[in-house]
């Protein structure tokens, strides 16, 4: 069964600190992986996309890594800001078109002053 | 200049009622989706339309009926609402089968009492 598991479920950190969110997947055949940020009451917004051949990709203070061998991805947030408080969802896409997408349950991050 | 918009944003209704949620995108995409996000924040695809034709229909009760009058609109009609229908419903769009590049709407929070 294709699954995407994220950890931790929730996380509270102080403003200015770094944190790392984890995503493990069993999806196959893997096409690509995307991290989304979902603010409360809003739709998910894409942060970064990782393809099979990419190990790391940065988008400002967000850095995503991918280990396709161990089927793990991480999202590292540097120098956190209050506006980083949101849910972060790992989404894995399977080769082959429309239907094949699996969402993780997300990590709820709260950044406190 | 909202890319994907949904109305209403909030919907509170009683069991047994029939209600509709509307979705519109101005991105010029030809594929639109409906997702349901449950209380555990798990996103699950319900339907997908490409050029007004149904291409994905997950195991969703017949009480849910999507309608796509044109490529820019995908509405969701729900008959005989049940308590378990309470969730946040997200509309999304993409170009063709580029599901990994879909844009999400802001969501509609449906509460059935």
pLDDT in single tens digits along all 113 residues of chain A: 668 999 999 999 999 999 999 999 998 778 888 999 999 888 888 888 877 788 898 889 999 999 988 999 999 999 999 999 999 999 988 876 655 788 898 999 999 99
Chain B CB contacts of A98 below 8 Å: 31, 48, 50, 55-56, 97, 99
In the block, tokens 């280990």 appear at A67
Looking at the DSSP bridge assignments, the partners of residue B33 are B48, B92
Identify how many contiguous H helices and E strands chain B contains and give both numbers. Answer: 0, 11
Distance CA A64, CA A106 (A): 15
End-to-end CA separation in angstroms for chain A:
41
In the block, tokens 């699996």 appear at A102
Distance of residue B24 Cα from the nearest chain A Cα, in angstroms:
14
Distance CA B111, CA B113 (A): 6
| pLDDT single digits (tens) B57-92 | 777 889 999 999 999 999 999 999 999 999 999 999
Per-residue pLDDT at B52: 82
């Amino acid at each position: 069964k294709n699954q995407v598991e994220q950890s931790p479920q929730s996380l509270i950190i102080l403003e200015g600190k770094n944190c790392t969110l984890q995503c493990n997947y069993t999806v196959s055949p893997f096409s690509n992986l995307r991290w989304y940020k979902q603010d409360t009451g809003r739709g998910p917004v894409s942060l970064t996309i990782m393809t099979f051949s990419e190990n790391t990709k940065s988008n400002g203070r967000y850095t995503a890594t991918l280990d396709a061998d161990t089927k793990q991805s991480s999202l590292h947030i540097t120098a956190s800001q209050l506006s980083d408080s949101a849910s972060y969802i790992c989404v894995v896409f399977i080769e082959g078109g429309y239907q094949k997408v699996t969402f993780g349950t997300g990590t709820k991050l709260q950044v406190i002053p | 200049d909202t890319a994907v918009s949904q109305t209403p944003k909030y919907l509170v209704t009683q069991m047994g009622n029939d209600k509709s949620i509307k979705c519109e995108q101005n991105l010029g995409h030809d594929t639109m989706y409906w997702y349901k996000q449950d209380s555990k924040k798990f996103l699950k695809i319900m339907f997908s339309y490409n050029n007004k034709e149904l291409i994905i229909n997950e195991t969703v009760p017949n009480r849910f009926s999507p309608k796509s009058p044109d490529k820019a609109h995908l509405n969701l009609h729900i008959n005989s609402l049940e308590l378990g229908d309470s969730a946040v419903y997200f509309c999304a769009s993409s170009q063709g089968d580029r599901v990994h590049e879909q844009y999400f709407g802001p969501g509609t929070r449906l509460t059935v009492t």
